[in-house]
Amino acid sequence: MNPYEMFLKQVDEATPYLSVEPEYIEILKFPKEVLEVSIPLRLDDGEVKVLKGWRSHHNNALGPYKGGVRYHPNVTREEVIALSSWMTIKCATAQLPYGGGKGGISVNVRDLSPGETERLSRGYALAISRFMGTDIDIPAPDVYTNPQVMAWFVDTYEKIHGRSEPSCYTGKPVEAGGSLGRGDATSRGGMYVLREVLKQKGLIGKELKAAVQGFGNVGGFAHKLAVSELGIKIVAISDSHGGVYNPNGIDYYELRSHKSKTGSVAGFPGTEMITNEELMELDVDILIPAALEGVITDKNAPNIKASIVLELANGPTTPEADLILSEKGIEVVPDVLANAGGVTVSCFEWIQGRTGDYWTEEYVHQKLDEKLTIAFHEIWKIKEGNRIRMRQAAYVRAISRIIAAMRFKGIWP
């Protein structure tokens, strides 16, 4: 099942608990428009490669499209459509004034020099420039893109249009109009949501162990914040090269230093080497997938021992695996809530860019906590009232909000 099929299945699973007209559900299953672009990239040696890129606009009933741009060799049109669809649900889940968008380029950016990455980024920004803007579509970072890439994007856009428009992209460096608190927002938001789950289960203050799959921006900050904010012991962590395990816990700062020197968490002193697959099945309390989609499937779900799965990646659990985990009594905190911190602080950055009123980091954290705590309790109430899975409850809440707006606006043209 590809990511887009996963999204359709998730909508279908929420539909029985919705009181909405079927035509609106049918509209929600398709993107409004998808742009495909070809980007000529001149490499440092003079060779020219033509790379494929996409930008999907899924639904804008609640506001302009919002979603990241990823650079990854496995990016496809279908994946970008699925990710934009999940963004529609995620923005509605967090009660943001946005619809869902997403973009990507099929490229292994690790093979590119900094100069090649800049030329590629500016080429993509030029290609989609007529498809986005502050009140149309506001892109942001995603897999293998970062604040530097956003700075190139916004600079390109502003040069094309001949005006300053810092709110046309989010996730920028603070020096270029970005927001304080954006760097760790996805992980921090996940910790706020996890805190509320632990409260509901009577686990706050207990000695808990967790494993994190992924040590990029999201996984790295999840490691750091789970320890500092919630007192959780991280016993395993992995990246694309493999994982490391130590039942006594792994120090975030020492591991980060090791990876900066070696390029991987592999070989970290005092740990046992494990595979990404073995990490998923460790005997821990909390499993945090924080990399790519589709890593929890019907093949490994029966062997997962964690009692809570916090989805900081987009779409890490297939629908079949979701059912298996539910039958085992494992609480899956869905991506559309668990990792909504990034887009929420992007919204804050968008507001700051539009008004020129920049906020303190403490205020950003406070607003993020408030927003996601409210969302969590609304979803938990739906979950408990209908005796359904948390993902279904999140979709019920989000789709109800989206379709309420669609109903007022009508189906036109």
Question: Residues 121, 203: one domain?
Answer: no
pLDDT over threshold 90, residue 413:
no
Model confidence pLDDT, tens digit, residues 28-78: 999 999 999 999 999 999 999 999 999 999 999 999 999 999 999 999 999
Question: Residues 208, 82: one domain?
Answer: no
Of the residues 66, 90, 102, 383, which is catalytic? Answer: 102
Q: Could you give the CA distance from residue 87 to residue 67 in angstroms, rounded to a whole number?
A: 6
Q: How many residues does the chain have?
A: 413
State the average pLDDT over residues 325-330: 97
**Contacting residues for 199 by C-beta, under 8 A, at least 6 apart:** none
The domain boundary residue, chosen from 317, 338, 359: 338
The yes-or-no answer on residue 9 being catalytic is no
> The CATH number of the domain where 198 resides is what?
3.40.50.720
Distance of CA 381 to the CA centre of its chain: 24
**Torsions phi, psi for 307 (to 5 deg):** -90, -15
Cβ–Cβ contacts within 10 Å for residue 122, how many? 18
Model confidence pLDDT, tens digit, residues 218-264: 999 999 999 999 999 999 999 989 999 999 999 999 999 999 999 99
Q: Could you give the CA distance from residue 309 to residue 325 in angstroms, rounded to a whole number?
A: 9
Q: Does 62 fall in a domain?
A: yes
Structural domain of residue 228, as residue ranges?
A: 185-338
The domain boundary residue, chosen from 276, 303, 338: 338
Count how many domains the chain has.
Answer: 2
Q: Is-contact 102 11, C-beta < 8 A? A: no
Q: Does 266 fall in a domain?
A: yes
Question: Residues 95, 205: one domain?
Answer: no
Question: Residues 326, 193: one domain?
Answer: yes
Question: Residues 170, 198: one domain?
Answer: no
Task: Map tokens 């920049």 to a residue.
Answer: 358
For residue 309, the cross-strand partners are 287, 332
Q: Does 355 fall in a domain?
A: no
Q: Is-contact 322 14, C-beta < 8 A? A: no
Q: Does 24 fall in a domain?
A: no
Question: Residues 165, 206: one domain?
Answer: no
Q: Could you give the CA distance from residue 85 to residue 82 in angstroms, rounded to a whole number?
A: 5
pLDDT over threshold 90, residue 2:
no
Model confidence pLDDT, tens digit, residues 328-377: 999 999 999 999 999 999 999 999 999 999 999 999 999 999 999 999 99
Q: Is-contact 143 292, C-beta < 8 A? A: yes
**Contacting residues for 319 by C-beta, under 8 A, at least 6 apart:** 1, 6, 9, 10, 13
Question: Residues 156, 220: one domain?
Answer: no
Q: What is the DSSP string of 71-102?
A: EETT--HHHHHHHHHHHHHHHHHTT-S-EEEE
Question: Residues 301, 319: one domain?
Answer: yes
**Contacting residues for 358 by C-beta, under 8 A, at least 6 apart:** 179, 180, 352
The domain boundary residue, chosen from 120, 150, 176: 176
Model confidence pLDDT, tens digit, residues 70-107: 999 999 999 999 999 999 999 999 999 999 999 999 99
State the average pLDDT over residues 285-310: 96
Question: Residues 312, 334: one domain?
Answer: yes
Q: Does 385 fall in a domain?
A: no
Question: Residues 53, 166: one domain?
Answer: yes
> The CATH number of the domain where 75 resides is what?
3.40.50.10860
Q: Does 114 fall in a domain?
A: yes
Q: Which helix (H) or strand (E) holds 245?
A: strand 242-245
Question: Residues 59, 121: one domain?
Answer: yes
Q: Could you give the CA distance from residue 292 to residue 402 in angstroms, rounded to a whole number?
A: 26
Q: Does 396 fall in a domain?
A: no
Question: Residues 56, 159: one domain?
Answer: yes
Looking at this protein, which amino acid is placed at residue 360?
T
Q: Could you give the CA distance from residue 282 to residue 26 in angstroms, rounded to a whole number?
A: 40
Q: Is-contact 375 93, C-beta < 8 A? A: yes
Q: Does 37 fall in a domain?
A: yes
